C-alpha cells in the first residue's frame, strides 16, 4: 500500500490524505479473506503476530476498484508481458508491480489461494523509468528507496510470481 501512496504523491493525487489515511480507508476482508476483494488481514499486525494461514495483502482487482472509487485512473497489466510493462513505463506511466522483498526468489507457500499463489515474501514497488540502452528499470521501493535494476531480474521475479501489475494513467 505504501507503493500505491508513493505513486499518488508522484502524480499529485493524494487528495490531502496521508499514507495512514489511505491504508485506513482500504476495504478489509479479514484474515483468510479474499485479497481480490479487499485487504486480507491487517497491515498493522507485526509479522510474528500474523495468525497461521494469514497472508496480509491486497491484489490488483481490489486495489484497482479502491483506486477507481477514489478517482484514481488505473489499468490492469497483470499477466501482460514485460514488454507491455516496459511500454507503459516508457509512456511515462507509473506501474505498481507485486514482486518480492529485495527481488529474492519467491517463497511460495501455497499454489492455490483464491486463484493465485501465496508468495510469503511478497512486496510491491513502483517502476517509474526504463533505460533502453542498459535494459534497466528505475524502481521506487518503500523499503530500499530508489535504484536501477536489470530488466532480467525484474522479469525473473515477475514471471515466477502471480504476474501482478497495475498502471497509473494520467
Domain-by-domain residue ranges, the chain?
Answer: 2-168
pTM of the shown model: 0.95
pLDDT of residue 113: 92
By CB neighbour count within 10 A (0-12 exposed, 13-18 middle, 19+ buried), where does 66 fall?
A: buried
pLDDT of residue 155: 98
* The C-alpha cell that represents 155 in the structure block: 522479469
Q: Which of 165, 84, 169, 98 is nearest to 130 (CA)?
A: 84
Q: Which of 2, 36, 44, 40 is nearest to 19 (CA)?
A: 2
pLDDT for 44-53, tens place per residue? Answer: 888 889 888 7
- CATH of region 2-168: 3.90.70.10
pLDDT of residue 158: 98
Sign, CA dihedral 89-18-98-146, equals positive
The C-alpha angle 65, 68, 70, rounded to 5 degrees, equals: 115
| 81 close to 159: Cβ distance less than 8 angstroms | no
pLDDT for 77-128, tens place per residue? Answer: 999 999 999 999 999 999 999 999 999 999 999 889 999 999 999 999 999 9
Amino acid at each position: 500500500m505504501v507503493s500505491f501512496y508513493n505513486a499518488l504523491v508522484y502524480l499529485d493525487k493524494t487528495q490531502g490524505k496521508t499514507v495512514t489515511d489511505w491504508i485506513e480507508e482500504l476495504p478489509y476482508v479479514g484474515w483468510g479473506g479474499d485479497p481480490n476483494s479487499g485487504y486480507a488481514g491487517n497491515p498493522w499486525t507485526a509479522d510474528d503476530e500474523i495468525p497461521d494461514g494469514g497472508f496480509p495483502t491486497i491484489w490488483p482487482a481490489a486495489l484497482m476498484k479502491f483506486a477507481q472509487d477514489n478517482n484514481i485512473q488505473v489499468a490492469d497489466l497483470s499477466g501482460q508481458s514485460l514488454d507491455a510493462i516496459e511500454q507503459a513505463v516508457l509512456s511515462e506511466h507509473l506501474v505498481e508491480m507485486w514482486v518480492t522483498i529485495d527481488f529474492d526468489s519467491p517463497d511460495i507457500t501455497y499454489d492455490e489461494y483464491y486463484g493465485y499463489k501465496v508468495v510469503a515474501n511478497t512486496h510491491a514497488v513502483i517502476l517509474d523509468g526504463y533505460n533502453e540502452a542498459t535494459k534497466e528499470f528505475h524502481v521506487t521501493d518503500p523499503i530500499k528507496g530508489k535504484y536501477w535494476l536489470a530488466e532480467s531480474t525484474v522479469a525473473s521475479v515477475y514471471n515466477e510470481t502471480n504476474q501482478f501489475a497495475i498502471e497509473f494513467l494520467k
